[in-house]
């Protein structure tokens, strides 16, 4: 069993590696933010109700409300699954709020499994 001190910190940058994701926006500082946990959801009300600050959101929903939800709930980043590409206004809003956006070809189920595995193995 590993102790808390031995555990490697999972960052948004390491999620990019785990999911072979493309970074749509997010500077080095944003990518080095610690991932405190993750949630996979298309229902933003669930994210607002159940998330904790510093969590990562995995979602198949692509609209401006996803980024606003991430800002309001103080998440550490958003991953769009199944290769979905958000519009330029969504990326611009995230960039302005320094909210990193990633995009992966994995499905929501696969992405959640990979991130869960990476988070619990560390």
Partner 1 sequence: MVSEEFERVYEVTGRDYANAGRASTSIKDILKNLGVPPAVVRRAAIASYEAEMNVVMHAVRGRMSLRVSPAAVTVEVQDEGPGIEDVRLAMQEGYSTATPEMREMGFGAGMGLPNIKKNADVFDLQSEVSRGTRLLIRISQAA
CA distance 89 to 44: 19
Binds partner 1 (CB under 8 A): choice among 2, 3, 45, 120: 45
CA distance 79 to 40: 9
Least distance between partner 1 and beta carbon 64 (Å):
6
In the bound state with partner 1, the residue whose beta carbon lies nearer, of 47 and 111, is 47
**Interaction of residue 57 with partner 1, rule CB under 8 A:** no
**Interaction of residue 20 with partner 1, rule CB under 8 A:** no
**Interaction of residue 69 with partner 1, rule CB under 8 A:** yes
Least distance between partner 1 and beta carbon 71 (Å):
5
Q: Which residues of 47-63 are buried (b: 16+ CB within 10 A; e: fewer)?
A: beeebeeebbbbbebbe
Q: Strand 37-40 to strand 22-25: parallel, antiparallel, or no bridges (unpaired)?
A: unpaired
**Interaction of residue 61 with partner 1, rule CB under 8 A:** yes
Least distance between partner 1 and beta carbon 28 (Å):
23
Closest CA to 78 of 110, 111, 109: 111
């Amino acid at each position: 069993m590993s102790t808390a001190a031995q555990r490697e910190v999972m960052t948004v940058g390491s999620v990019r590696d785990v999911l072979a994701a493309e970074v749509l926006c997010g500077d080095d500082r944003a990518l080095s933010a610690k991932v405190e946990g993750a949630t996979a959801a298309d229902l933003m009300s669930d994210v607002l109700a159940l998330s904790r600050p510093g969590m990562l959101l995995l979602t198949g929903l692509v609209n401006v409300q996803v980024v606003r939800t991430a800002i309001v709930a103080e998440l550490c980043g958003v991953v769009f699954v199944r290769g979905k590409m958000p519009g330029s206004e969504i990326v611009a809003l995230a960039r302005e709020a320094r909210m990193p956006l990633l995009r992966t070809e994995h499905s929501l189920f696969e992405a959640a499994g990979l991130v869960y595995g990476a988070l619990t193995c560390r």
